[in-house]
Amino acid sequence: MDDTPIPDSDDHEEASVSLKVVLLLFAVVLIGALAYLVMAERQQSDSLSSAEPAPSVMRKATKTATTTDIANWIVYTNADHGYTIKYPNDWVKNSSLPTVLALHSAETERIIKSGEQALGDFQITYYASLKDLPSYADSSNATTLLGYLKTLVEKNIPASVSYYKASKINDVDGYWFSADGYSSDGGYYLEKNGHIYELLFNTYVEANLSGTQKQIRDSFKFTN
């Protein structure tokens, strides 16, 4: 006669219930862990999308929107090319060509000295005549400054003027232009006695000129 004890049905049921409870708890923990990972990933994604973009290697100095008294600013006069202009005492004049006046703000100068590249804040370039302006495609055939700008825009020439409008500086008629290209700058073209003066800023839109840039622009005057 076989003396092997017959398993108690109650014990079997208890073991089955315990196994189900363990599996259920494991499933709950697993679902919770997956939900946590999904939420953490979403939070990280939201944080990255709203964060300020990393600064570019070629970056522009922070502009100051405030205006200041320019009475004590440095006065620069170019007798050969017939103009004068003022700029802040802490700005740096950097001109390697006799026809170019380049000005850097203190912040731009700090960026440059740190080893990074930075776009200049302001530059004046003198052209003896219309024919001395940068030549693109059919622009060399232009006989007026307006014709020159129209040609560049209508021909949609890369890395040149993409937009222009009539403007004035101290009652002198001229044109504001926006230039597509490596730096996407903007500025003014003025004409006096057949000579062309390009006042270039590190902004693509005239309305975005800083208070200091506007004061520098408004201090520009012809001397003859």
> DSSP per residue over 52-103, as a string?
PPPPPSEE-PPPP------TTSEEEEETTTTEEEEE-TT-EE--SSTTEEEE
Question: What pLDDT score was predicted for residue 48?
Answer: 30
Q: What is the predicted pLDDT for the residue at 55?
A: 34
Residue 8 scores a pLDDT above 60: no
The most confident of 90-94, 111-115, 190-194, 206-210, by mean pLDDT: 190-194
Answer CATH for 72-222 from 3.40.1000.10, 1.10.10.10, 3.40.50.300, 3.40.50.1370? 3.40.1000.10
What is the percent of the chain with per-residue pLDDT over 90, rounded to a whole number? 41
Contact 178, 204 (CB under 8 A): yes
Question: Does position 203 have pLDDT exceeding 60, yes or no?
Answer: yes
- What is the edge-to-edge ordering of all strands in the sheet holding 221-222? 74-78, 83-87, 221-222
- Kindly report whether the global pTM for this prediction surpasses the value 0.85: no
Q: Is pLDDT of 60 > 50? A: no
Tell me the torsion sign for CA atoms 172, 187, 95, 219. positive
Please give the pLDDT value at position 16.
64
Q: What radius of gyration, in Å, describes the C-alpha atoms of the chain?
A: 34
Residue 69 has pLDDT above 70, yes or no: yes
Residue 45 — pLDDT band, cuts 50, 70, 90?
A: very low
pLDDT digits (tens, 9 = 90+) for 162-183: 899 999 999 899 999 998 765 5
